[in-house]
Amino acid sequence: MRILKWLVISQVFLIQIGCADKTAEESVPLPDTSYIVDSIAMPPGLSGEVGALAFLPSGKLIAAFRRGEVMKYDHENDEWSIFARGLHLPLGLLVRSESEVLVMQYPELTRLKDTDLDGEADVYETVTDDFGLGGNYHEFTYGPVEDKSGNLYIGLNSTSNGGVMMEELRGEINDDGLTEKGLYSAVPYRGWIMMLTPEGELLPFASGFRSPNGLGFDDQGRLWVTDNQGDWVGTSPLYHVEKGKFYGHPPSLAWTENWEGGRPMDKGVEFLDSLRTKAAVLFPHNVMANSPTEPVTVLTDEFGPFNGQLLIGEMNHQRIVRVMVEEVGGKLQGASVPFIDGGGLRKGNNRMVFGPDGALWVGQNASGWAGSSGIQRITFTGKMPVDIQNINITEDGFKLAFTTDMDKSALENPENYSVRSYFYAYHSKYGSDQMDLKDIEIKGVEVSEDGKEVRFGLSPMEKNRVYEIQLNNFQSVAGDSLSNNLICYTINELLE
């Protein structure tokens, strides 16, 4: 076993949550900082582009990188060691034990086992390769994530017209899944989320995905999947994924059982729109996120006041997004807000996992797109952030709860709220503009006695739209300004 020892020369960045004018310092957290971002020193020679990130039972980090390495990192002793090598674009890891992990690589899901316990895997066992490969660069594979019954879920990217399919490929070709423009699904189950049963059978689970670079279960057993803006995807969405449903990117429909034949694209937008399940949350492009990645659920109070909420990485900005969902009229919907925004966080936030230290570990990637590389760690200092704790739709507007007592005079002033709404078109074109953009009137503001909650009425309230809410001049009783002032709420259903 080769052990590499590298001194961590971590640059410590301070996130200015609630203290907009503090400068970064190399020191222990200031008392008025809620989250600290620091960088893990990477060993020389490693690309540092993170495809997967997980923790072993021992508390060591295990990470997969673009050039096929799986490395272990002992944070306590700042030691990197190699666990596996030579993999094809690994983009997911699921830990089974200290000596066994599942890794999702381009052509297959593989079980890596260190049977002689020398620290490095010696068995690379194929768990499933029962899906098509066109030999196209864009056929990334994601996951696996596991449900409570032991089923695993993986995501199969659609094939890109930015590349070609190889002459030799894996799986039968289905012409119905082809398109002239955009992404397509001409070999089995591209654009699907697949379920692998404990018995080893890989079954199609849900269709309509373009580039689902992010799968995760929440604390209620719901499967969340992000997708990327592009053809048929007006802006990047977060889907609550359920068996048998179709999420909007048409070519994958060609692999639906008993598909009637013909290209799904040719069936017309109206028909396709009637089949699809809409996103629970839309991330407005260039406003909230351009390329959202892995959803991770906060499972404790150790990371601040957001237990049960989802955190989602973003590739194109120095940002991690926080998501709050609720069920309205039988459908899930909700809002996104920036959680960490700059302050030393890099771009390319591709994979995230909570460590045994309670911190959020973030792995960065670019793979030729906007992004970066390396691993950073976000630690909660214990200082309560001044932030939106939750948002709920009301019959005539929204109700906001804050993490701390707020200055009521700012909350009470309707001029401090600026709201607009728009929708994203469902069409074959790449992305969508903000359609039918409207300025929304603020009708009445009601602040709770303790200043921790505010209800504000809006006109009009309409469904199938994003409400982009800007909060200006908000600050806590202690005088700290609101750490972020942007909320994007996706209304699928109104509260009757």
Partner 1 sequence: MKKCVGRRAWPSGIVIFLIPLLFLSTLFPSPGVAQIREIHIKAVGGLQFDKVRFKAEPGERIRIILSNADDMFHNMLITKPGKRESVVEAALNLAELGPQLEFIPKTDDVLWSTRVLAPGEEATLEIKVPSSEGIYPYVCTYPGHGTIMFGAMYVTRGDLPDIKEDVNIPEQRRSASLGAGPNAEDHAHHKEEEVWHPYELVPPYWYRIFMPESGPASIAVNLDDSVFYCWDAGLCRLRYVWEDDFLDISEPWSIKGDARAKVLGEIVYRENQFPLDLGFENQDVAYRGYRLVEGGYPEFYYTINGIDIYELIRPLPGQDGIRRRFRIGSGADKVKLNTQSPDKVNLKSSLGTWTGKELEIKQSSPLEFEVEMSW
- The residues that touch partner 1, with contacts defined as CB under 8 A, are 2, 4, 42-47, 66-69, 71, 80, 82, 85-88, 105-108, 110-111, 122-126, 129, 133-137, 160-164, 166, 168-170, 181, 230, 285-287, 290, 315-317, 347, 367-370, 429-431, 433-438, 468
Those residues whose C-beta lies under 8 Å from the C-beta of residue 300, and which sit 6 or more positions away, are 307, 354, 358
Burial class, 294, CB count within 10 angstroms (exposed 0-12 / middle 13-18 / buried 19+): buried
Q: How far is the CB of 458 from partner 1 (least distance, A)?
A: 17
Extended beta strands in 162-267, E state: 183-184, 192-196, 202-207, 215-217, 223-226, 236-241
Side chain identity at residue 58, one-letter code:
S
Q: Which two tokens stand for residue 129?
A: 């390769």
Q: Which two tokens stand for residue 139?
A: 């056929």
Q: How far is the CB of 2 from partner 1 (least distance, A)?
A: 5
Query: Whose Cβ is closer to partner 1: residue 136's or residue 185's?
Result: 136
Q: How far is the CB of 382 from partner 1 (least distance, A)?
A: 32
Q: How far is the CB of 331 from partner 1 (least distance, A)?
A: 26
Tokens 């992990």 sit at which residue? 101
Q: How far is the CB of 486 from partner 1 (least distance, A)?
A: 9
Query: Whose Cβ is closer to partner 1: residue 390's or residue 434's?
Result: 434
Query: Whose Cβ is closer to partner 1: residue 228's or residue 297's?
Result: 228
Torsion, Cα of 425, 427, 429, 433 (10° steps): 0
Q: How far is the CB of 126 from partner 1 (least distance, A)?
A: 4
**Angstrom distance (rounded) from CA 473 to CA 462:** 27
Q: What share of the chain is helix, strand, coil (3-state, %, to 5)?
A: 5, 45, 50
Those residues whose C-beta lies under 8 Å from the C-beta of residue 447, and which sit 6 or more positions away, are 408, 411, 412, 453, 454
Query: Whose Cβ is closer to partner 1: residue 70's or residue 253's?
Result: 70
Q: How far is the CB of 46 from partner 1 (least distance, A)?
A: 4
Query: Whose Cβ is closer to partner 1: residue 316's or residue 333's?
Result: 316
Query: Whose Cβ is closer to partner 1: residue 96's or residue 181's?
Result: 181
Q: How far is the CB of 439 from partner 1 (least distance, A)?
A: 9
Q: Which two tokens stand for residue 351?
A: 């994979």
Alpha-helix residue ranges (DSSP H) falling in 31-93: none
**Angstrom distance (rounded) from CA 16 to CA 20:** 6
Q: Which sign, positive or negative, has the C-alpha torsion 490, 363, 344, 300? A: positive
Question: Contact 228/210 with Cβ under 8 angstroms?
Answer: yes
Half-sphere exposure of 135 (CA within 13 A, CB side): 10
Query: Whose Cβ is closer to partner 1: residue 45's or residue 261's?
Result: 45
**Angstrom distance (rounded) from CA 354 to CA 300:** 10
Query: Whose Cβ is closer to partner 1: residue 327's or residue 433's?
Result: 433
Q: Which sign, positive or negative, has the C-alpha torsion 107, 297, 314, 86? A: negative
Side chain identity at residue 304, one-letter code:
G
Query: Whose Cβ is closer to partner 1: residue 267's or residue 420's?
Result: 420
Hey, how many other C-beta atoms are within 10 angstroms of the C-beta on 439? 8
Q: How far is the CB of 268 from partner 1 (least distance, A)?
A: 22
Query: Whose Cβ is closer to partner 1: residue 169's or residue 269's?
Result: 169
Q: How far is the CB of 8 from partner 1 (least distance, A)?
A: 15
> Element (H or E) spanning 392, and its range?
strand 388-393
**Angstrom distance (rounded) from CA 186 to CA 188:** 7
**Angstrom distance (rounded) from CA 16 to CA 33:** 6
Q: How far is the CB of 301 from partner 1 (least distance, A)?
A: 33
Extended beta strands in 91-235, E state: 92-97, 100-105, 108-113, 123-128, 141-146, 152-156, 159-160, 183-184, 192-196, 202-207, 215-217, 223-226
Q: How far is the CB of 66 from partner 1 (least distance, A)?
A: 6
**Angstrom distance (rounded) from CA 445 to CA 456:** 4
**Angstrom distance (rounded) from CA 33 to CA 384:** 9
Query: Whose Cβ is closer to partner 1: residue 189's or residue 354's?
Result: 189
Query: Whose Cβ is closer to partner 1: residue 49's or residue 218's?
Result: 49
